[in-house]
């Protein structure tokens, strides 16, 4: 007989998620059995935190993203309306197939020289600025925006507007923030529809033009699906990686031992460890699911209809999966972290994000060997109340 939790629903310590280092309140949840919790709006859900439990939950077809995208299920505005995130197989399989070729390892390797050119251009721009320089404004945010906009074919002149919309879509989890996010999403959607119309008249080699060809050749891709896919790719390719850069540099600039390993033989391992220990999600990781049937996870029976939150950020810090989990060890024996998820909803842009982090981190420290914080490390703070974990400012000197 599966065990049942004896505790009442607890309020997830969302405030602790905005600490740069791992807070004790979150450490206490690592590797624990599933338990009932309350979402930011007070709605009930089940928290899954142990590594193996989260990994299984992410691939269990009984836990549905489509059902979790229903209007009565609590979620952020950023997650609403994005078709690839809100459907299950076989619809998900069809949509993903149309864009997957743009994000393969081979395609990312082809993009790498372009990414490195963007990094070099941003580095040159930093040299012209008076110090201290805000690394968030002048490097962490512009880099992923430039990369994803070039990939999709977004004109250079439009990128500043898009950056503002993107930040607002990932705004706070309260009602005011949700309203701002909804307006910003509507703005991006209008822009994408106009951009699609323009690409029909003047096609290029970008991914949006590719989606137009797929639709116009009768590949069952609806106009709304094309818009939703384009919006998702723009947001996911920009806001997530930009947020990851801010916490990555904060970590490296406050840990001389890690910084010394930048550009070394284990650079790929360093990137993986940064991804493991610095989640970009303030709600613990993966988007919520809904149990379509009664399901047993970690020896606990979760009733049908329950909202389930697979907390990949906690799973990545499970001491049962990663001994001494708070230590960032680039030489750690390989065990795939869950920051990009797994299963059919594994992040499409995972390889692109890795390439950007590798190029951005190595390029910046190579250009500025004396790069250092311009403020006391204690002053570094993550933005509170946002869907994402990120710093709004990171002043540096060299």
Q: Are 75 and 68 in contact (CB under 8 A)?
A: yes
Q: How far apart are CA 312 and CA 218, in angstroms?
A: 38
Q: From the CB of residue 295, how many other CB atoms can be counted at a distance below 10 Å? A: 21
Give the model's pLDDT for residue 4: 54
Residue 350: the pLDDT is 92
Report the DSSP beta bridge partners of residue 38: 11, 44
Burial class (CB in 10 A: 0-12, 13-18, 19+), 157: exposed
pLDDT for position 34: 96
d(CA 87, CA 64): 8
107-138 tens-digit pLDDT: 899 999 999 999 999 999 999 999 999 999 99
**The pLDDT value given to residue 68:** 61
What domains lie within the chain, and their CATH numbers? Answer: 10-397 (1.10.630.10)
Tokens describing residue 213: 């060809």
| 214-239 pLDDT tens trace | 765 566 667 788 888 888 888 888 88
* CA-only gyration radius of the chain, Å: 21
3-state secondary structure the chain: CCECCCCCCEECCHHHHHCCCCCHHHHCCCCCCCEEEECCCCCEEEEECCHHHHHHHHHCCCEEHHHHCCCCCCCCCCCCCCHHHCCCCCHHHHHHHHHHHHHCHHHHHHHHHHHHHHHHHHHHHHHCCCCCEEHHHHHHCHHHHHHHHHHHCCCHHHHHHHHHHHHHHCCECCHHHHHHHHHHHHHHHHHHHHHHHHHHHCCCCCHHHHHHHHHHCCCCCCHHHHHHHHHHHHHHHHHHHHHHHHHHHHHHHCCHHHHCCCCCCCHHHHHHHHHHHCCCECCCCCCCEEECCCEEECCEEECCCCEEEECHHHHCCCCCCCCCCCCCCCCCCCCCCCCCCCHHHCCCCHHHHHHHHHHHHHHHHHHCCCCEECCCHHHCCECCCECECCECCCEEEC
C-alpha 67/C-alpha 240 separation (Å) is 24
Q: What is the pLDDT along the chain (398 residues), one digit of tens a residue?
A: 455 554 677 777 777 777 887 788 888 899 999 999 988 778 899 999 999 999 999 999 999 887 665 544 444 433 444 456 666 677 777 777 777 777 888 889 999 999 999 999 999 999 999 999 999 999 999 999 999 988 888 888 888 888 888 878 766 555 556 777 788 888 888 998 999 999 989 988 888 888 788 765 566 667 788 888 888 888 888 888 999 999 999 999 999 999 999 999 999 999 999 999 998 887 666 678 999 999 999 999 999 999 999 999 999 999 999 999 999 999 999 899 999 999 888 888 899 999 999 999 999 999 999 999 999 999 998 887 667 889 999 999 99
CA distances from 309 to 57, 80, 126, 228 (A): 9, 16, 40, 24
Q: Which of 297, 299, 296, 283 is nearest to 53 (CA)?
A: 297
CA 267, CA 289: separation in Å to the nearest integer? 34
Q: How far apart are CA 314 and CA 300, in angstroms?
A: 18
* Distance separating alpha carbons of residues 353 and 86, to the nearest angstrom: 22
Contact 196, 230 (CB under 8 A): yes
Q: How far apart are CA 225 and CA 11, in angstroms?
A: 36
pTM to 2 decimals?
Answer: 0.88
The answer to whether residues 104 and 351 touch, using CB atoms and an 8 Å cutoff, is yes
């Amino acid at each position: 007989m599966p065990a049942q939790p004896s505790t009442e629903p607890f309020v997830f310590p969302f405030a602790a998620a905005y600490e740069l280092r791992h807070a004790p309140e979150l450490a206490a949840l690592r590797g624990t059995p599933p338990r009932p919790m309350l979402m930011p709006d007070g709605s009930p859900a089940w928290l899954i935190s142990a590594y193996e439990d989260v990994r299984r939950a992410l691939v269990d077809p009984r836990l549905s993203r489509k059902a979790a995208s229903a209007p009565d299920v609590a979620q952020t505005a950023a997650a609403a309306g994005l078709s690839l995130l809100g459907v299950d197989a076989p619809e998900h399989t069809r949509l993903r197939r149309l864009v997957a070729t743009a994000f393969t390892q081979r395609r990312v390797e082809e993009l790498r020289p372009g990414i490195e050119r963007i990094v070099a251009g941003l580095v040159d721009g930093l040299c012209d600025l008076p110090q201290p320089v805000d690394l968030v404004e002048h490097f962490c945010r512009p880099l992923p925006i430039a990369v994803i906009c070039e990939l999709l074919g977004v004109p250079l002149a439009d990128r500043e507007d898009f950056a503002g919309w993107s930040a607002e879509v990932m705004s706070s989890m309260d009602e005011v923030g949700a309203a701002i996010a909804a307006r910003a999403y509507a703005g991006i959607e209008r822009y994408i529809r106009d951009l699609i119309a323009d690409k029909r008249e003047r096609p290029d080699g970008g991914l949006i033009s590719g989606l137009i060809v797929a639709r116009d050749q009768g590949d069952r891709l609806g106009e709304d699906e094309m818009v939703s896919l384009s919006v998702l790719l723009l947001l996911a390719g920009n806001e997530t990686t930009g947020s990851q850069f801010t916490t990555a540099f904060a970590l490296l600039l406050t840990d001389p031992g890690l910084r010394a390993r930048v550009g070394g033989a284990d650079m790929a391992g360093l990137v993986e460890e940064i991804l493991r220990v610095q989640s970009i999600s303030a709600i613990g990781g993966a988007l919520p699911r809904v149990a379509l049937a009664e399901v047993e996870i970690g020896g606990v029976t979760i009733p049908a209809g329950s909202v389930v939150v697979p907390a990949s950020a906690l799973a990545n810090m499970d001491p049962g999966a990663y001994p001494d989990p708070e230590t960032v060890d680039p030489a750690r024996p390989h065990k795939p972290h869950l920051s990009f998820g797994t299963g059919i909803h594994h992040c499409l842009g995972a390889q692109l994000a890795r390439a950007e982090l590798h190029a951005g981190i190595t390029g910046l420290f190579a250009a500025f060997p004396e790069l250092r914080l311009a403020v006391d490390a204690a002053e570094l703070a993550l933005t509170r109340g946002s869907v994402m974990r990120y710093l709004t400012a990171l002043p540096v000197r060299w």
